[in-house]
Structure 1
Amino acid sequence: MEYLSSLILPSALFLLSSLCFILLFSINRRLPNTTTAATVIRGYRIIRNLLLFLKNSHRIIEWSAEVLSTASSSTITIAPIIFTSDPKVIEYIAKTRFDNYARVEEINAALEDLLGSGIANVNGEQWKLQRKMASPEFSPNSLRSFLHDVVQYRIDERLVPLLRDASNSGRVVDLQDLLERHAFDVICNLVLGVQPDCLCNKRGEGERFYKAFREATDISIKRGLMTSVSTWRLKRSLNIGSERRLKESVATVHEFVNNSVKLRTLQRNTGGDDSGGDFLSRFVHSDESLSDEFIRDVLINFLVAGDTTPSALTWFFWNLSANPDIVTKIQKELKSIQNLHNPEAFTLSKLREMNYLHAAISESMRLYPPIPLVPKKCLEDDVLPDGTPVQKGWMVFYNSYAMARKEAIWGEDCFEFRPERWLDDEGVFKQRNAFEFPVFHAGPRACLGKELAYLQMKAVATSVLERFDVEVVEERAEFELGLTLRMRGGLPVRIKERRV
């Protein structure tokens, strides 16, 4: 039956799509597909620009950036979608008219099996309630100290020994994979208070959880990128292919997180010691009326958010490989801050002093933002600040990848990797307008974990650059859009221990 279904479904979908195309093509007259003075690309009367989107669906980031670069303005309409790289438009949809631009329901539906009703996958009152509940949990200095201790332990006891071993053996390693596994160990410790140890131990329950989590996120994202939700919903109803794998992976993820929640709840109810600094402990203590399912969804959303740091670090080390002079400047800063005769790890206060490193990481994220394309759905007819009309139900995407390549925002050297653009005359890091640099989003939905993300990235960068030289052995510049902007094929590097 499974084999029969796998043959019937593609055939039926191909036949259906072919009939629809023939019918629509026969009754529609093609309008000119050119960029007009009003920056509008016109399509067929009924199917609009469906064929254009299908043609470019595999490279939506680059394509939309290319379209924006040739447009007469920073906003372009390809009905029923609008792309923009205009900071004023981003401020308008992300802040000024926040209530009129919501998360896209179709994408929420695609992610719902994994994320449930967590903060990253809801709108309106549900989102406001969770945001209000989560915001105070990111404020305490104790959380920063807890994360720093977790990160430094994972670096010293797992990441550094592994890199040292790679240096001694001379073997090539995939740095992207190592950074993703390290980040997953850290985020699981921060969120759940558990250590899957998938960086070094590629067997057991932790590895099973890691693989299930990655598969569930990958398939869910691919769902969201589909032109029609009916395609994956039909496969889900038949329980075949990727939908069957998603169901199994989500079940594994839910089981692991549910067990963590039940254990912590039991400890609370029996007076056991669960005074850890992780989010699970904080939520279990904050409100006893919260259901286990609600807590599970919130925690899984936090786990997903942790995938942005390895993406940013992968591109950071890739950028450094082409700019050895910048590596030298970072290492010089590390020496000036760290006492070379004191083996003590970089403390929180020392990490905060690293202005040039902070600038280099920010510059890398400017060019390769972990989440480069953010969609919003218009709830009521509107007009954007630049005069672009938006109809109810249309989607507005802001492309931070395209923004990084705009001279009007970043100057004539916008394509260059230049950390100095983030420093003032005294060498102190200076913040940019969040709507010009929306890497951590902006407005009411701005990322709560921004400071924690920088802390983690700087801790990894200092520990690696202080001890090792990282040599990229294969040129990799292509990316793939998954949960975050990943490097296609990984980042193969050779590690060489530095002799200081």
Structure 2
Amino acid sequence: MVLLQLLAWILLGILLPLLSFLFLTKLSTPRTPPPTSTPTLPRSFPIFGVFFSAIANRKRHIEWITDILRAAPSATYIVRKGFARPEVVTASPEVVQYILKTNFQNFGKGIHFYTTMHELLGDGIFNVDGEPWKFQRQVASHEFNTKSLRNFVENVVDTEVFDRLIPIISSAAKTGTVLVLQDILQRFAFDNICNIAFGYDPAYLLPSFPTTKLADAFEESVKISTDRLMSLFPVIWRIKKLLNIGSEKRLRMAASEVQEFARKLVREKKQELNEKSSLNSYDLLSRFSSSNQLDEDYVTDIVISFILAGRDTTSSALTSYFWLLFKHPHVESEVVKEIEGKSEALVYDEVKDMVYTHASLCESMRLYPPVWQDVKGVSNDDVLPGGIAVKKGMRMTYHPYAMGRSEKIWGPDAAEFKPERWLEKDESTKKWRFVAIRDAYAYPVFQAGPRICLGREMAFLQMKRVVAAILRQFKVVPMMEEGAELELDLQLTLKYVGGLPVKIMERV
């Protein structure tokens, strides 16, 4: 019986793509239709729902969802794909507030996200709900106080910037070497998160650009896990997992590599704690490792979650930021002028006071949010603001990327890169003053409500320090054809195909 069921699933996995292909050849819609100024809702068929539209737009998935949410009157829409569970997508601030705050308990990570991401994230903070999530957040929150943030900027970040990042940037300027910016920034962020959270320096950002199994394994794990999450045929990856073949075999091996690295950190930290009665630097890993109630696997999962958060989000944000500065020289000029008004040492308080730079980073992440979508699970039947009913077991996804391009939220100039929208001039001092013109539910780049990002302030401090150090001396010039745009690589965080190759020019 089990064998027959397995064969049936395999047959289904083969027939469904074939039927989809045959059906699509009869559709007049091009494979990757261009975005339109007046988007319409996709055509929905009995049983199949919008499945064929999803297939036709698979190369522009994020733009397709953005078009749907622009066309939906309430900026909320139920995507029915026939072979997967219905998914509610939204770009409505009211709905975002409802799911992230008002009825927070009904919209957790959910069983779908948990099982899909479990090989990589296990029971880490980004993959759990309830008491496990509360405990991890409570312990982690101690690492994000003012004292820790000041130490982060003045020691960890500055060391990485001036001892590693700037020498590499400077050398590239002298030799004309093309750097892959996304890779450089990921290495930088990886060293930083390991230092501040685990008291460990992987020395990943070196002039030799060391290649490690860990880096490759982490990339593979994230990519395959994301493909699982976005799959139009979830049954296929489940069959491959059961048979341990293809991408599922690679995921198992890659995740095992990541877990072994994290487990090694945990063991070394426990040994360090056992040998010393007190540590001068009580990092995040020390806090978790000192608890005798937590087993090694659990702490290992926590480590992996924080590596993911620290490595990929800031590097994603900074990659798109330097791209936008290049496209908008007047903004770059304002940022440089602000940097030149600060001391070269740029102490902690000066970093915090970089108002225009802060606004330009906010604006960049509005258009290119590192976490471009956030998937929740519906625990119980509910009715969203606007009247859409959701059922237990559905997926509920809000889209910061679509929200950042919403004219309903940002006005008719929503597509423009305008840091000034976050600023107003102080008439007495003639200086810029930052104004949070939208609340966290209209700008959920760092989530909102009880799960709002603990590392928000740390991320801004790190990004501003990098921007100041680079732009004071250098200009970053993307090596792309004129008129080309960033090609998005949709992973758990927003990445860019090719990683944005750049040349570095001395600023004159």
Shorter-chain TM-score bucket reads 0.7 to 0.9
Residue 248 of structure 2 is aligned to residue 243 of structure 1:
yes
Is 1:308 the counterpart of 2:313? The answer is yes
Whether 1:383 aligns to 2:365 is no
1:441, distance to aligned residue in structure 2 (A): 0.6
Please tell me whether the aligned partners of residues 41 and 68 of structure 2 are also in contact (alpha carbons under 8 angstroms).
no
Provide the C-alpha distance between the structure 1 equivalents of 2:285 and 2:14, rounded to a whole number of angstroms: 49
Q: Which residue of 2 aligns with 1:166?
A: 172
Per the TM alignment, residue 483 of structure 1 is displaced from its structure 2 partner at its CA by 2.2
- Out of 161-170 and 104-113, give the one that drifted further: 104-113
Counterpart Cα distance in 2 of 1:40 and 1:125: 40
Q: Show the counterpart of 1:53.
A: 54
1:184 Cα offset (Å): 1.2
> Secondary structure of 1:417's match?
coil
The question of whether the paired residues in 2 share the 8 Å contact of 1:476 and 1:487 is answered with no
- Aligned residue in 2 for 1:498: 507
Of residues 280, 283, 287, the one that matches 2:285 is 280
Corresponding residue number in structure 2 for 1:479 = 488
Alignment partner of 1:230 is 2:230: no
> In structure 2, what is the equivalent of residue 291 of structure 1?
295
Change beyond 3 A, Cα 1:10–1:75: closer
- Counterpart residue type for residue 261 of structure 2: F
TM-superposed deviation, 1:53:
3.1
Shift of the alpha carbon at 1:376? Answer: 2.0
Describe how 1:95-494 pairs up with structure 2 within 5 A. Answer: 95-200=101-206, 207-271=212-276, 274-285=279-290, 287-306=291-310, 307-338=312-343, 343=344, 345-426=345-426, 427-431=432-436, 432-474=438-480, 475-494=484-503
Q: Which residue is equivalent to 1:4?
A: none
Normalised by the length of structure 1, the TM-score is 0.88
**CA-CA distance at 1:378 after TM superposition:** 1.9
CA distance in 2, matches of 1:203, 1:316: 23
Secondary structure of the corresponding residue to residue 82 of structure 1: strand
**CA-CA distance at 1:146 after TM superposition:** 3.0
8 Å contact 2:139–2:287 — kept in the other structure? no
Query: In the alignment, which residue of structure 2 is the partner of 1:62?
Result: 63
Distance of aligned partners of 1:232 and 1:472 in 2 relative to their CA distance in 1, 3 Å threshold: same
Q: Identity of counterpart residues, as a percentage?
A: 40
Question: Conserved in 2, the CA contact under 8 Å of 1:175 and 1:491?
Answer: yes
Could you tell which deviates more after superposition, 273-282 or 405-414? 273-282
Deviation readout 1:197-231 (Å, 9 max, x if unpaired): 22226577x72222222222222222222134432
Distance 2:394 2:143 in 1: 35
Matches of 1:10 and 1:170 in 2, distance apart?
A: 54
Q: 1:12 to 1:74 in 2, by over 3 A?
A: closer
**Quick check: 1:201–1:207 contact (8 Å CA) kept in 2?**
no
Q: Secondary structure at the match of 1:420?
A: helix
* 1:379 positional shift: 2.1
| Partner-residue secondary structure (3-state), 1:413 | coil
Shift in Å, 1:68: 1.8
CA RMSD of the aligned region, Å?
2.6
Q: Which amino acid aligns with 1:166?
A: A
In 2, the alpha carbon distance for the partners of 1:203 and 1:243 equals 29
Amino acid at match of 1:423: L
**Any conservation in 1 of the 2:42–2:53 contact (CA below 8 Å)?**
no
d(CA) in 2 for partners of 1:43, 1:424: 46
Secondary structure, in 3 states, of the residue corresponding to 2:212?
helix
1:93 is aligned to: 99
Tell me the CA shift for residue 12 of structure 1: 4.8
Task: Give the conservation status (yes or no) of the 8 Å contact 1:42–1:78.
Answer: no
SS of the counterpart of 1:424?
strand
**Contact 1:137–1:282, Cα closer than 8 Å, also in 2:** no
- Say if 1:142 and 1:277, in contact at 8 Å, map to a contact too: no
Report the alpha carbon displacement of residue 473 of structure 1 after superposing the two structures with TM. 2.0
**Structure 1 Cα separation of the partners of residues 8 and 473 of structure 2:** 54
Query: Partner letter of residue 183 of structure 2?
Result: D
Q: Which residue of 2 aligns with 1:74?
A: 75
CA distance, structure 1, for counterparts of residue 348 and residue 47 of structure 2: 57
Residue 52 of structure 1: CA displacement?
Answer: 3.2
- Cross-structure match for 2:3: none
Q: Give the secondary-structure state (helix, strand or coil) at the position aligned to 2:503.
A: strand
Q: Give ranges in structure 1 of 5+ residues lacking alignment.
A: 1-7, 25-38
State TM-score, norm by structure 2: 0.86
Q: How many correspondences in the alignment?
A: 471
